[in-house]
Structure 1
Amino acid sequence: MASRSAGRRAQKGDAEPGLLRALALTLASALVWGVAHLVTGRRIVGSILLGAFVLLGAAAAVLGLFFRPRLMELAVQPAWLSGVAGGILALGLVWVTVVIRSYQLARPGSLSLGASTAGAVAVTVLCFAVAVPVSWGAYNTYVARDTLTSIFQAGGGNGRAVNTKDPWNGQSRVNVLLLGGDAAANRQGVRTDSMTLASIDTKTGETVLLSLPRNLENVPMPAGPSRDRFPYGFTGDGAGTPGLLNEVYQYAEDHPDVVPGARKNQRGPELLKATISGILQQPVDYYILVDMFGFADIVDAMGGVRIKITEPIPYGQRGEVLQPGDRVLKGKEALWYGRSRTLSSDYARMGRQKCLLNAIARQADPQTVLTKFDRLAAATKRAISTDIPQELLPAFVSLSTKVKDGSRIDSLQFVPPLIHTGNPDYALIRRLTTRALAGDRAGSSASPSASPSASSTKTRPATEAGGASPSPSPSRTDTKPVSLDDTCPK
């Protein structure tokens, strides 16, 4: 009896160091495939695993260092994302298999029940350590694909074919209409209170933002049923609608006959695109509509947005104030920063909105997007609608990289005191638009022959009611666009 007990104690003493060695080799194999195989004499399989691991690591490094722009373009293609999600899951399965097999090869032949249980638990934990990040990567890839297919339709939902070899069809500029929709629970329909045409140079990424105030009147309508109904300019939908530019979207949704052939939720964008195209005498290629309340969710998903506030801005319904200084605004605060009219005006508000968009564009870095991807994707799905086709996303990603990498973003706003919104000089608006897109940024005042009708975001305007204007916004007689980076507070 004594000899058998001594033998078991000796066996246990030999097994415990053997278990630790096995777990160490298993951990090493989880970090670098093939280590346990090589140590235990499985040299062919071990060499294959090690070679595969080195190749995968080298390929990832090369792609990240030298092909990052191309990877970003592939990352907005649903078919590629499906393949990547499947590849990540397959990689995870192989990795877990390597971990389990490494432990099987390295563990001692005889273990006590306690040691065997401890080894199994340790390997299970190690498998989870491998599986969790792999599953997270596959899940986020699926979320990205779902978000893209929810927001962007093939052909933009209108059947237009995209030439992937020349996505811009030889155009020197692509024009995207950026809309802020002011929908609310106590209001029927959508008012487009923010309307900006982003005109982007397809070679350099240099961008001009052409902003139209929501309260433009006598808006000329595009040829067809809408002009037949409003031959002398848009006058609204009867009593209670003054006939402002921000009503055109909902008017089209409520009156299908003015946009024949367009489906529900497409009628508004189509008529507004055509209307603004006529105002500026520029083609409007695509639109993006952001619901203002969904916009707050996007800012929260980013973790807030950094803004320098130069003057107190009333906030909320309880007399709160956004105080001056460098602030990180939460979603609702950012929404009020961009929309507050108290002691301000529509035009001051337009200036703040441009600075807010500029700040978000500069701060939406890859690390922020990656670490908060799930929340950003969910918020984006709720907030955004567009007719940009899926097939054009890689080209837009490439173009946005040029914009983010330092290309100039200029802003030109057609607002008082230079434009009288009740009786706008549309001919001058078109001339100034043509000059801005031609790159005419020198100088700061209108020529004597041109009645002043537009302005840049250089300084503050006098408000309609004569009040103060706590924002970067126009007041001078500038008719040339200026850089948002130069005019927004830093």
Structure 2
Amino acid sequence: MTGDGEDRRAGRRPRVLKAVGLALAGTLVLGCAAAGWAYWHLNSNIKSVDIDSALGDDRPAKVTPTPSASQEAPLPTEAVNILVLGSDSRSGKANQALGGGSSTGARSDTAMVVHIDAGRTTATVVSIPRDTLVTRPSCPLASGGSTSAAYGAMFNSAYSVGGPVCAVKTVESITNVRMDHYIEIDFSGFAKLVDALGGVMVTTDEDIDDDDSHLTLKAGTHHLNGAQALAFARTRHGIGDGSDLGRIGLQQKLVKALLEQISSTNLLTSPTKLYSVADAITGSLTTDTGLDSLTELMSLGESLRGLSSDEAKTVTMPVVTAPSNPNRVVAKEPAASELWESLR
């Protein structure tokens, strides 16, 4: 025969279970709402430019996808070329504080063509010196009309006069390689990304003392925070002969170090850190419309899971001193053309 105490406990169980169920349901709803807000926030962070519409069909041919064994491959595996620019944008207090200068204008401080081979387990990163003299083609402007073609123009002037569209068109003009995607990151975004990853380890073979970038380092290995990593990427006067080629060498070291840092950081075990990194990345990006959503960026990232820093080769477009100006360079032929041919 059941006692009164047991009856009361039995009566409480449904109420307790109901309360637990409601709490779990409430937590689930709040969690879904938070996840939904986070996705919306990260997605709305991304700025984009419709480069394909602006440039039309007068461009190098796209890479033909390699047929896969499975017609239902979940991730892209074809070769892809991405133009990555580091912009010294002056917009916003954060960029100005990190060396962006005045409140208007921007230049492509860093330019890299990232070629990812079919299968996406190996890559070649080609740096284009910003002081390279090139023929800058006429570029369409968002406001209507177009820029004038220029001969013997500095490479980084393309971004200054015509933004991302002109930067892409100029790169395609000098390389005859189709840029499938465009990614631009500004000063503050780069610094935030490095900080979100917990800093980055770099090694320099010589002392660095650059009054312009405000970076002083002894030769050796150093753990850099975001601001220091940005200064490292911008340093040119404190190393070697003070040319842009010396800075490119530091940038390539930094790219490899960042790849190693990202691969060694298991972001999936820390949702807070994962969100921090994602917020830093998306908050500072301008992309083409093919990468302007969190879903598309995640798909690209997932397709590169098999790419390690050891399989990413960094090179600089072959150049020689320009005959017209000892402070400028021009493409060294036929070596430059052979390099670009290998990426088609």
Q: TM-score normalized by structure 1?
A: 0.51
Q: For the Cα contact (< 8 Å) 2:318–2:335, is it kept in 1?
A: no
Change in CA separation of 1:375 and 1:367 when aligned onto 2, cut-off 3 Å: same
Residue in structure 1 matched with residue 16 of structure 2 by the alignment: 103
Q: Partners of 2:341 and 2:267 in 1: how far apart?
A: 37
Q: 2:158 aligns with which of 233, 238, 248?
A: 248
Residue in structure 2 matched with residue 348 of structure 1 by the alignment: 246
Q: For the Cα contact (< 8 Å) 2:132–2:328, is it kept in 1?
A: yes
Change in CA separation of 1:332 and 1:269 when aligned onto 2, cut-off 3 Å: same
Change in CA separation of 1:286 and 1:333 when aligned onto 2, cut-off 3 Å: same
Q: Partners of 1:322 and 1:228 in 2: how far apart?
A: 42
Q: For the Cα contact (< 8 Å) 2:204–2:219, is it kept in 1?
A: yes
Residue in structure 2 matched with residue 486 of structure 1 by the alignment: none
Change in CA separation of 1:399 and 1:316 when aligned onto 2, cut-off 3 Å: farther
Change in CA separation of 1:326 and 1:231 when aligned onto 2, cut-off 3 Å: closer
Aligned-partner SS, 1:372 = helix
Residue in structure 1 matched with residue 87 of structure 2 by the alignment: 181
Aligned-partner SS, 1:220 = strand
Which 5+ residue runs of structure 2 have no aligned equivalent?
56-61, 67-77, 91-95
Q: For the Cα contact (< 8 Å) 1:286–1:387, is it kept in 2?
A: yes
Matched, 1:230 2:129: no
Q: Partners of 1:323 and 1:277 in 2: how far apart?
A: 39
Q: Comparing both structures, which one devotes a greater share of its residues to strand?
A: 2
Q: Partners of 1:182 and 1:321 in 2: how far apart?
A: 21
Q: For the Cα contact (< 8 Å) 1:315–1:333, is it kept in 2?
A: no
Q: For the Cα contact (< 8 Å) 1:176–1:199, is it kept in 2?
A: yes
Q: Which amino acid aligns with 2:286?
A: S
Residue in structure 2 matched with residue 58 of structure 1 by the alignment: none
Residue in structure 1 matched with residue 280 of structure 2 by the alignment: 379
Q: Partners of 2:120 and 2:311 in 1: how far apart?
A: 9
Q: Partners of 2:146 and 2:48 in 1: how far apart?
A: 30
Aligned-partner SS, 2:315 = strand
Q: 1:290 aligns with which of 185, 190, 214?
A: 185
Q: Partners of 1:367 and 1:134 in 2: how far apart?
A: 27
- How many pairs align? 299
Q: TM-score normalized by structure 2?
A: 0.69
> 1:302 deviation in Å?
1.8
Q: Which amino acid aligns with 2:254?
A: L
In our comparison, the structure showing a higher alpha carbon Rg is 1
Residue in structure 2 matched with residue 322 of structure 1 by the alignment: 217
Q: Show the 5 A alignment for 1:115-264.
A: 127=23, 135-136=30-31, 138-151=33-46, 158=53, 170=65, 173-184=79-90, 185=96, 186-187=101-102, 188-217=104-133, 219-222=134-137, 229-230=148-149, 232-234=151-153, 244-252=154-162
> 1:144 deviation in Å?
3.0
Q: Partners of 1:359 and 1:132 in 2: how far apart?
A: 39
Q: 1:399 aligns with which of 303, 319, 324?
A: 303
Q: Partners of 1:202 and 1:152 in 2: how far apart?
A: 28
Change in CA separation of 1:342 and 1:431 when aligned onto 2, cut-off 3 Å: closer
Residue in structure 2 matched with residue 432 of structure 1 by the alignment: 338
> 1:194 deviation in Å?
0.4
Residue in structure 1 matched with residue 93 of structure 2 by the alignment: none
Q: Deviations over 1:192-248 (max 9, x none)?
A: 01011111113243211111111112x1123678999335343xxxxxxxxx21121
Q: Partners of 1:132 and 1:213 in 2: how far apart?
A: 53
Q: Which amino acid aligns with 1:375?
A: S
